[in-house]
A and B are shown apart, each in its own frame.
Chain A
Amino acid sequence: MITKATFVNGGKNGAYITWELAKTIVPVYFLITFLKHTPVIGWIAKYFAPVMAIFGLPGDASLPLVLGNVLNPYFALAAIIPLDLTGKEITILSTMLLLSHSLFVETAINKKTGIKVKGILLLRLGSAIMAGIMLNLFL
């Protein structure tokens, strides 16, 4: 049944998620924006450029990629926004991140369902890498 409670609950969930996202996104956004104005981002970009070139991405795109995989996709979103990436680059990066993200938390969840997770983990990383390479070739 659709009642007033449906909308109230939906709104509550929306507020909760927005608040949780804000707590994540604002600090990361601040940090990356700040780094952008320091030489640090240049060093990171230069260091990771050879690896990221496989996916047709600039070196500094390694930041959202690492944040998304180690923490969660919201950190990655927060890092994507201040970087000056093209539509193609964001599409490649997003696809890779959608296939492989929050590896610590989600792998723990997989484990709870009662399976061995090593293969699943390799599968996620492998498919993200393959997706990056393929999209770079075809887009």
Chain B
Amino acid sequence: MTFTKDDGPVPAGFTAALQAGGYGLPDPSVAGHGHAHGVDGVSTSVRTAVHRGREIRIETTYKITIDGQPLEGGLEVLDNGAVHYHGLPQYALPSAIDMCKRVLDYFGTEPPAVDELGCLIGEHGEHCGNGATCCVDDKDHQHGTDHQHGTDHQHGTGHQQGAEHEHGTDHQHADRPLPAAPVPAQPQQSHDHDQHQHQGEGHR
């Protein structure tokens, strides 16, 4: 890789970095999915300061629902007390109420499209640690025997899997989170765990 000042437009190489999966990215083995998101409407931020040699630590946790459904994406408190939401990166508002109003103004309550993209071949969707639906490698996901699927399970909009099914008692469903938890389509046979709260120990 060379860094030159005369690296003008070269159409053939313009997307080389994209083809390579990008440069300057954190190590994917430790980075996860970017910044920390809230999960199921719960997000925690920590502020610290040192004053007169004493360490101040303030941990703020929000649990936010809108019409009973968890707000995903995570709110953060800045050191000056303003509230920030990653989906609206330039906004910092006086209160979480104000921020929720702004999120609703911007994003509404429904995804902007039907999701047709789904997971990649060899992956399936599941509820991931950042509050969104993630696609994970099938080989990395094994199910415990106490996780049963039946016939009448309802998924959120955009879910295009064939048979409906239900779950065993150790596998609870969350209401559809807002606004950052769409349900990717599932183009393959393996079952998925979109929109689920995973609470049973037998579920992995």
A, B: real partners = no
Instruction: List B residues at the A interface (Cβ < 8 Å).
Output: none
